[in-house]
């Protein structure tokens, strides 16, 4: 499952981080690291 498949209120653990270069570095800097639990709070108005 990828993060875009989560529904509001669902939680999941990050297994791996995709992307490369600056994008990957930015995601890791935001705290999206493997073995971290994330919970989708809501979906942005424009999706």
Q: CA-to-CA distance for 11 and 31, rounded, in angstroms? A: 15
Is 8 domain-assigned?
A: yes
The DSSP bridge partners found for residue 38 are 12
Residue 16 lies in a domain: yes
Global pTM reads 0.73
Q: How far is C-alpha 33 from the geometric centre of its chain's CA atoms?
A: 9
pLDDT in tens, 24-44: 999 999 999 999 999 999 998
> At 46, is the pLDDT very low, low, confident or very high (cuts 50, 70, 90)?
confident
47 within some domain: no
Domain residues for the domain of 32 are 3-39
Residues in a beta bridge with 8: none
Establish if 46 belongs to a structural domain.
no
In a domain, 45, yes or no: no
- Structural domain includes residue 12: yes
């Amino acid at each position: 499952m990828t993060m875009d498949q989560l529904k509001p209120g669902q939680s999941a653990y990050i297994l791996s981080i995709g992307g490369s270069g600056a994008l990957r570095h930015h995601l890791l800097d935001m705290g999206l690291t493997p073995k971290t639990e994330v919970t989708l709070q809501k979906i942005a108005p424009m999706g």
